[in-house]
Amino acid sequence: MRVVFAGTPEPAVPSLRRLIESERHDVVAVVTRPDAVAGRGRKVTRSPIGALADEHGIPVLTPRRPSEPEFIAQLTELAPDCCPVVAYGALLPQRVLDIPRFGWINLHFSLLPAWRGAAPVQAAIDAGDEITGASTFLIEAGLDTGPVFGVITEKIAVTDTAGSLLGKLAETGAHLLETTLDGVEDGTLHAVPQPTDGVSYAPKVAAEDGHIRWDLPALAISRRIRAVTPAPGAWTEVNGTRLKLGPVEMVEEALPERVIEVRKSGVFVGTATTAVRLDQVQPQGKRMMAALDWARGARLQPGAVVE
């Protein structure tokens, strides 16, 4: 069937690529967020979805708001049968939702109704969930409230970061989205309303959410760091300077809360329970490096603390 794909970041790329390669579906256009300034060079950059569409000669629509009359007219003229969505990043008005005859089908990276919202993968790791997954559902006016077509599950490894887990879900979710479109077109797949219990929300993660609270237990700190890695990133302050943190290792012995201890075996920080060992860190203006290399250069005084 004729589809107009809506998406923006890298996790949406496997789904678009799969639909481009599909023999059953014809991607007649993509909708993505407008080009934005990114990177150290502050250059105006196409979104990953826009760039992939350009490679394949697919028209790219970049409305600032999906409610713009020009965009609505363009979409109406394209006459899509369905609009698959993966992390597009903007709310769709009802007038736009009504255009495709099979509606807008969203691939969401959680087991709905758990973790509705912008950051489901980060929320699942932060909460200590053992299992997560992805769901395809029909978009309606509410926030991720529409009836569900299908789900896949994924075990969360103790070493998973938001980046690694999202990468896995993006690949398996792409297959789920394609098979959902197949079933909808064939009339063999019908959406089922979400249950009313088990609802939870995952708001967008801000940079401040990466500021580590060392008065929390080591397990909670480890989860939070993995949840915000790679973006927006975990960080703390040492001697008034921000230090970005990679995932940490929990150890059995305790140290005074917030105190940094440098040993031959590593750099350790006290929490509300047991200590954690820092692995990779990134001082401001520098590259990621081993925590021991940073500590040697930082010339930390005995009793130095993280803030």
Residues in the chain, total = 307
pLDDT of residue 299: 84
Rounded distance between C-alpha atoms, residue 199 and residue 173, angstroms: 21
pTM, full prediction: 0.94
Distance of CA 30 to the CA centre of its chain: 20
Check whether 278 has a pLDDT greater than 80.
Answer: yes
The pair of structure tokens assigned to 289 is 């490096």
Helix (H, G, I), strand (E, B) or coil at 181: helix
What Cα–Cα distance (Å) separates residue 123 from each residue in 83, 117, 162, 164, 202? 27, 10, 9, 14, 6
Q: How confident is the model at residue 289 (pLDDT cuts 50, 70, 90)?
A: very high
Q: Is the pLDDT of residue 41 over 70?
A: no
pLDDT in the model for residue 39: 63
Each residue of 206-216: pLDDT tens digit? 999 999 999 99
State pLDDT tens for residues 161-220.
Answer: 999 999 999 999 999 999 999 999 999 999 999 999 999 999 999 999 999 999 999 999
The pLDDT tens digits for 219-250 are 999 999 999 999 999 999 999 999 999 999 99
- Mean pLDDT to the nearest integer, 252-277: 95
What share of the chain in percent tops pLDDT 90?
A: 92
Structure tokens at 241: 């300077």
pLDDT tens across 42-99, in order?
688 899 999 999 999 999 999 999 999 999 999 999 999 999 999 999 999 999 999 9
pLDDT digit string (tens) for 111-134?
999 999 999 999 999 999 999 999
Task: Report residue 197 CA to chain centroid gap.
Answer: 24
- Whether the CB-CB separation of 123 and 202 falls below 8 Å is answered with yes
Q: How many CB atoms lie within 10 A of CB 104?
A: 23
Mean pLDDT of 18-22: 97
